[in-house]
Amino acid sequence: MWTDIRKLLLFHLLALKLHSSKGAEAEECEDGQFQCNNKRCIPTIWRCDDDDDCSDNSDEENCARKTCAPAEFACANGQCVPGRWRCDGEPECPDGSDEADATCSKQTCPPEKFDCGGSTNKCVSVSWRCDGERDCENGSDEEDCAAGDEFQCANRKCLAPVYVCDGDDDCDDGSDELKCSSRHSPTTTCGPHEFRCNTSECVPVMWSCDGDPDCPDGSDEWPERCGSEGSQSRRRMNCTVEEFRCANGECVRLAWKCDGDPDCKDKSDEADCPLLTCRPDEFQCGDGSCIHGTKQCNKVHDCPDQSDESGCVNGRKACEGPLKFLCKNGECIDSAKVCDNVKDCKDRSDEPKKECGLNECALNNGGCSHICLDRPIGYECHCPTGYQLLDKRTCGDIDECESPNACSQICINYKGDFKCECYQGYEMDPVTKTCKAEGKSPFLMFTNRHEIRRVDPVKKDYSQVLATQKNAVALDIDVANNRLFWCDRFHRNIYSALIPEASVPSQQVTLVDSGSLLSPEGLALDWVQHNLYWTDSGHKTVSVASAYDGLKRRVLVDTELSEPRAIALDPQHGFMYWSDWGTRAKIEKAGMNGVDRQVLVSDNIEWPNGITLDVANRRLYWVDSKLHLISSVDLNGAHRRTHLSSSERLGHPYALAVFEDRIYWTDREREAVYSANRLTGRDVSTLAEHLNDPHDIVVFHPLRQPQGPDSCNLGSEANGGCEYLCLKAPQITEHSPKYTCACPTGQDLGPDMRGCVPGESVCVSGWLLVEAGGGRKGVMVPIVATVVFGLLCTGVYLVWRNYRVNSTKSMNFDNPVYRKTTGEGEEDEIHIGRTDSGMSGQHGHHPSSLTLSLLNLKGYKRTSRAKGR
C-alpha cells in the first residue's frame, strides 16, 4: 500500500514539474525574441543573418537562401553587404571576403581616381594627388610633386614671393629674411608717399595721424608727429557706468575687472587687484577664481584653467581587473594567490573549499550568452567586440553611433560593429578614415588688418590676396563666382572684387559706403539668392543688400541688440544666425527675411566673437573669448558640446571656420591662426603666426557653399516678381513660402505683397508731405515752408554726418572688440532717420520718414516727426 502511495506522489510531483517547466519555457523569451534550441533568447532580427548567435547554430537553421541585390556584394558565406564597402580597407563580411586579395587585386581605378598601386591597390580621388597629405597607405600620391615658383623656407614651408624680405618672419624660422637687401635696415628710405615707422616699416603717409596706429610701435600716431595730444585715438574716452576704462582707453565690462582674466589688451583690468581669497568651502582655481568645493575632482572642468581636475586620484578602485582579488573583508591580493592552498586573506576568503577547482563554465556555459571565463573563484561573462553585457550574462549590440565622435559624418550601426560613411561630395580617406572633400583642395582666407591672406591648411603655403587695407575686419566669399567681399572698419565701407583682381583698386567695387555704416562687424553672403548680410554694432542692426551692386537695402533686425558681431547663413533652409556679445550675451536665429526670431544660446556664454555653420553636419560653432572655449549646438540650439576649453590654447579667439574634420580660428592675442580636430579638440596646430591683428577667417571650397535652386528665380518672373528685394523665407514647415518680398527701410509692401508703397511718413527730394487731419489727405504745406524745412534737413544731416565721422574715427583702435565713445559728455547726438540707409540721393530710393532729435542746452532730447502720405 505504501509503495502505491509513494508511486502516486512521485507521479504527481513529476507532473507538476513538467507542467511548470513547460510554462517557464513558454514564458522564457519575450516578444521580439527568438528562442534557441539551448533555451537562449536572442533578438528576432538576428535570425538567419549568417551569424551563429545561439551558440548552437539553431538561429541559422531552416533559413531561405539569400540572393544579393546588384548593388550589394556577396560575401563568401552568403551574407550581403553594400557594394560600396567592397575593398574599402575595412572588412564587413564576417569572413573578410570583401577585403580579400582575390577580390581587391582585380580592382581597376576609374579615370577620376588615382591608383595607389602596391599590394593595397587602393583608389583615391585624383584631386588628392600632391595635396600635402598621404592618402595612399604607401604615400605614392605625394611622390614626384613639383614645387612651383614659391619660396621654400628652411623648414620646408612655402611662401609666395611677396612675403620674402618683407621684414616679417613668415617662415617662422627667419629664413625668408636672410640674404635680403637693406630695404628694412634702419637706414631705409621710404617712398615719397610713405611714412617710415621707428621700426623701419613703411606705411602710406595718409595713414599717419589718422587716429589709428598702423606701425607696429604706433609711431605713426605719436604726439611728436601728430601734435601735443597725439592722435584722436589717444583721447580719454567715456565708458558707461557698467564699464571699466582700460589704460589705453578701451572699455570692457566692469564685472570683468579683477576677475583673474585679462580683458583689456594692455591687461590693465587686472592691475592693482587685491589678492583673491576663496571661502573655506570653495576651491581656488589657478587663475584666482573660486568654485564650490564639491566641483573639485568631479571629472568636469569647472575652472577656466582646468586646475580643479589636476592632481586628482583615479576614480577606479585599486582592486579591479583580472590580476587582483578582493577579499570579503576588503583586502586586496594578487589573483595568482587565490586557491593556492595558502590563506592570504585574513578572513580566508581566498581559499573556499567548495569553489576552488570548480569550473562553472563547464555547465551550460555558466549561463553566459557568448563567452564564459572561469576564475579561480567564480566566473565572468564576456562579450565579443562590438557587444556589451546587458545583465551580466547576456550580450547585446553596442550602438557606437550614439557617440558623436564615432564618425566624421554618417554613422551606420549594425550587429557587432558600425560603419562610417560620407555625404555626397566627400570620400572616406583610406588612411585617416575620415571624410575628405572631393575636388580641389580647400584653402583658408583671413583678414590680417592691412591685407587679406590665403593659406593652405596642409602645406601652410602663403599668398597675398589683397593688400593696402586700413583695417579689414570681416570677409566672405562667393566660391562659384570666385568673388571676395570684405569690410574695412576704418573707412566704414563694404567692398567686392573678383579674387584674381582684388589687389587692383580700380576693380574694387564699393557696395555699401560710410553713409550707411557706422561700425560693421560681421559679413555673410547668401550664395544662392545673391544677397549680402551684415551686422553693425554702431547702428545695432542686422541688414541685407543686393550682393552685386548694393543698391537695394533693408534693415532686418534693429531691436534688442547690444553688440551684434558675427553672422552666418543657411540659404538652403532660409535661416540666419548672429552673435551678440553685449551685457546679456547670446546667439540668435531668424529667417533670412527677418521673421521667426529666436534665441539659440544664452546660458554659459560671455563673449561670442565668432560663429560659423557646419552645413554638412547641421551644427553651429562659436568661440567665446572670455571663457576661452569653442562650443557647438545643433541648429535648434540643442545637444551642446564643448570641443576645446583652454586659456592656453585660446587666448583671445575672434573668428572660426569649420570644414571636413578641422576647426580653424584666429587668435588676436597670440596673433596667429590655429587648427584642431573638430571631433576631439585635440591635434592643435599652428597654421600662421607673427601676424598683425588677424580677424575673420573663411574656408574656400565648393562644398562649403552647396548649390541649390534660387527660390527668387524659379518661376517666369525675375526676382520673384518683387519690386525691391527678394529674400529667402525660413523653411519652418513643408508649407512655408519659398521667399518673401521686402521694401526699403521705412516703406511697406503693397496689397499684392510685391510692390512697395510709402510708409507712415515720407520726405521726398526736400519736400515734406503731411497727412492732414479731419479726413483731408494730400494737403501740401506752403512751398516756402517746405524749402526751409528741406534746408534744415540738409543742414542737420551734414552736422550729424560730421559728428558720426568724427566719433567713428575714435572707434578704430587696435582691439575693436571693445566699445568706445567720444566726447566729454554722454551720448548727446543728433539723429536723422533715413530711408535705405542714407543712399536715397545716390540711387533714387526715397526715405519714408524723417526724425530729428534736437538737444537743448541742458542735454534733454526732443523729437519731432514730420508725417505725410
**CATH number of the domain that 375 lies in?**
2.10.25.10
Q: By residue range, what is the domain housing residue 190?
A: 151-233
Looking up residue 60, the CATH number of its domain turns out to be: 4.10.400.10
Based on the domain organization, do 484 and 531 belong to the same domain? yes
Looking up residue 696, the CATH number of its domain turns out to be: 2.120.10.30
Based on the domain organization, do 105 and 157 belong to the same domain? no
Q: CB 258: neighbour CB atoms within 10 A?
A: 15
Based on the domain organization, do 131 and 167 belong to the same domain? no
Q: What nine digits make up the cell of 635?
A: 541648429
Quick check: is 380 in a domain? Answer: yes
Burial class for 79, CB neighbours closer than 10 Å (0-12, 13-18, 19+): buried
pLDDT in tens, 68-112: 888 888 888 778 888 878 887 778 887 888 888 777 776 778 777
Based on the domain organization, do 81 and 208 belong to the same domain? no
CA dist 475 and 488 (Å) reads: 9
Based on the domain organization, do 385 and 468 belong to the same domain? no
Residue that terminates a domain, selected from 120, 141, 162: 141
Return the CA Rg of the chain. 36
pLDDT in tens, 823-848: 333 333 333 333 344 443 344 443 33
Based on the domain organization, do 455 and 581 belong to the same domain? yes
Report pLDDT for 765: 33
- The overall average pLDDT reported for the chain is 80
Residue that terminates a domain, selected from 680, 709, 738: 709
CA dist 602 and 582 (Å) reads: 11
Based on the domain organization, do 515 and 626 belong to the same domain? yes
Based on the domain organization, do 347 and 458 belong to the same domain? no
Quick check: is 87 in a domain? Answer: yes
Based on the domain organization, do 838 and 771 belong to the same domain? yes
Quick check: is 93 in a domain? Answer: yes
Query: For the chain, what is the domain count?
Result: 6
Based on the domain organization, do 526 and 668 belong to the same domain? yes
Residue that terminates a domain, selected from 685, 709, 733: 709
Based on the domain organization, do 508 and 545 belong to the same domain? yes
Phi and psi at residue 566, to the nearest 5°: -80, 155
Q: Return the HEC string of 786-823.
A: HHHHHHHHHHHHHHHHHHHHHHHHCCCCCCCCCCCCCC
Quick check: is 609 in a domain? Answer: yes
Based on the domain organization, do 470 and 585 belong to the same domain? yes
CB 724 within 8 A of CB 743: yes
Report pLDDT for 385: 82
Low-confidence stretches of the chain (pLDDT beneath 50): 18-27, 182-186, 230-236, 315-316, 761-784, 787, 804-869
Report pLDDT for 345: 92
Report pLDDT for 835: 38
CB 179 within 8 A of CB 167: no
Report pLDDT for 475: 97
Q: What nine digits make up the cell of 174?
A: 627667419
Quick check: is 514 in a domain? Answer: yes
Quick check: is 512 in a domain? Answer: yes
Quick check: is 847 in a domain? Answer: yes
Q: What nine digits make up the cell of 612?
A: 560659423
Quick check: is 131 in a domain? Answer: yes
The residue count for the chain: 869
Closest by CA to 610, choosing from 630, 591, 593, 590, is 630
